[in-house]
Amino acid sequence: MPITPATATHSTSNGTADAILLELVDENGVTIGTAEKLAAHQPPGQLHRAFSVFLFDKHGRLLLQQRAIGKYHSPGVWSNTCCGHPYPGEAPFAAAARRTYEELGVSPSLLAEAGTVRYNHPDPASGLVEQEYNHLFVGLVHTPLAPDPQEIGATAFVTPAELAERHARDTFSSWFMTVLDAARPAIRELTGSSAGW
């Protein structure tokens, strides 16, 4: 994983990782404190700040990722291009750009805010809960991907019809349809009506 200013502050000098802290928020998205990442996802879940990225190629196809099998939360399931949590004090836009590069090895040629969505999604497989105030971003990717295998098991660019087929056949993250539906107005504006989103 590339070391960035944000990630560098979360490693100790002896190489062991500090606990990763998330930003806790109220129902309006105002920061009210912090919590350790895993603790924030234990039932019933603590409302925290998150982000979701949807990147598209020049043909208007959505980039999906399959989460690596080794992930502690929702391993092996398909989801949107990138998602995660800003570090406390980190702007959601900066976190989205950082994690997209760390996970996929690309910087979007365009990344724009697409609103927010608040949800509460238990994950039956892990027993964890996604209680999130999620900042949405849409953008374009024009360069070859270089996925980090510790984060991503596979990637795929899909049309709306191909997504519908895959969603009916494969397992997706519990939050996927919620964030996709919330981002659709911005996705349509980005990709145009002919893309079918």
Which residues are tagged catalytic? Answer: 83, 132
Cα angle, residue 95 at apex, residues 93 and 97 outer, rounded to 5°: 70
What is the residue type of 51?
F
Q: How much of the chain is in helix, strand and coil states, percent to nearest 5?
A: 25, 35, 40
Would you state the structure tokens that stand for residue 39, as one six-digit string?
């603790």
Q: 4: Cβ–Cβ under 8 A, 6 or more apart, which residues?
A: 98, 102
CB atoms within 10 A of CB 73: 16
